[in-house]
């Protein structure tokens, strides 16, 4: 059994490219079931890519039902509380797992009263358009805002900020900072990206846009991710004339990398 998504991913990638990966077909069905039951949802999806035979086995509805109950107990409780059908045959449990995963770990919206999006006093709640009904906005010359993603499944991710920037007079200094930590915030891995000042300026004429931070974020089991967007000034450039008209934020997304 692999200890992490990354280890399993590399293993399966190697096996997928090998002509001899059919030896998996010789493993007894009972052992295969035990192996799959001990994988998390993402590892099981990766496991399904080894060959067609294994892919067929990983589509088992009962298997995904057990994974949903194990990985998303709170969502199962909510379904039960709302008297929704939890039976095996009346649900596609793989699709339910995908819905639970997206709901729990991928997107934080400014329109939601969610403490996972930490909004400093320099931001105000506002409205934009039909696609971005509730946003947060700042007009100050420097700011920060951050979001925390919790209870994540292991994997490789990237951060995507959906933002809108008012007209720029000059290139701006922005910094994207991401920290991956254990649940107690004792062990932390830091990632940072500082765009070229004119990289953001070229995007400021596009209205709402999604900016994908280039850093690949490696998330292990039981990790938290704290991501921050910061605009800062140095002593040499601390001029209001360098500032934009406004910065608006709609969502922060944690996107799983396909490779």
What are the b/e assignments for 109-123, b being 16+ CB within 10 Å?
bbbeeeeebebeebb
Separation in Å, CA 38 to CA 35, 99, 164:
5, 21, 43
Distance, in Å, from the CA atom of 175 to the CA atom of 248, rounded to the nearest integer, reads: 16
- From 15-29, 57-71, 86-100, 207-221, the region with the lowest mean pLDDT: 15-29
Looking at the DSSP bridge assignments, the partners of residue 230 are: 144, 175
Reported confidence tier of residue 21, pLDDT bands at 50, 70, 90: low
Q: What is the DSSP letter of 83?
A: T
Reported confidence tier of residue 5, pLDDT bands at 50, 70, 90: very low
pTM over 0.85: no
User: Quick check: 206 pLDDT over 80?
Assistant: no
Q: Give pLDDT tens digits for 118-160.
A: 778 888 888 888 888 888 888 877 788 888 887 667 888 889 8
151 vs 100, residue with greater confidence: 100
Mean pLDDT of the chain: 77
| Domains recognised in the chain with CATH numbers | 5-105 (1.20.1280), 107-256 (2.60.120.260)
């Amino acid at each position: 059994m692999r200890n992490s998504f990354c280890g399993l991913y590399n293993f399966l990638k190697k096996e997928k490219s090998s002509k001899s990966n059919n030896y998996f077909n010789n493993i007894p069905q009972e052992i295969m079931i035990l192996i799959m039951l001990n994988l998390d949802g993402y590892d099981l999806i990766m496991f399904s890519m080894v060959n067609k035979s294994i892919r067929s086995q990983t589509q088992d509805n009962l298997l995904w039902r057990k994974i949903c109950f194990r990985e998303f107990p709170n969502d199962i409780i909510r379904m039960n509380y709302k008297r929704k059908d939890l039976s095996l045959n009346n649900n596609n449990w793989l699709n339910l797992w995908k819905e639970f995963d997206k709901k729990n770990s991928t997107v934080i919206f400014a329109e939601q009263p969610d403490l996972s999006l930490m909004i400093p006093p320099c931001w105000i709640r506002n409205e934009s358009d039909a696609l971005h009904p509730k946003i947060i906005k700042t007009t100050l010359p420097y700011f920060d805002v951050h979001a925390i993603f919790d209870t994540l499944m292991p994997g490789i991710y990237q951060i995507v900020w959906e933002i809108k920037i008012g007209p720029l007079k000059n290139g701006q200094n922005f910094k994207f900072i991401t920290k991956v930590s254990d649940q107690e915030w004792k062990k932390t891995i830091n990632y940072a990206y500082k765009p070229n000042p004119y990289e953001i300026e070229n995007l400021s004429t596009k209205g709402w846009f999604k900016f994908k931070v280039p850093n690949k974020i490696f998330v292990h089991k039981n990790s938290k991710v704290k991501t921050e967007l910061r605009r800062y000034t140095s002593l040499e450039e601390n001029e209001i004339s360098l500032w934009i008209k406004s910065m608006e934020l709609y969502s922060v997304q944690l996107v799983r990398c396909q490779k």
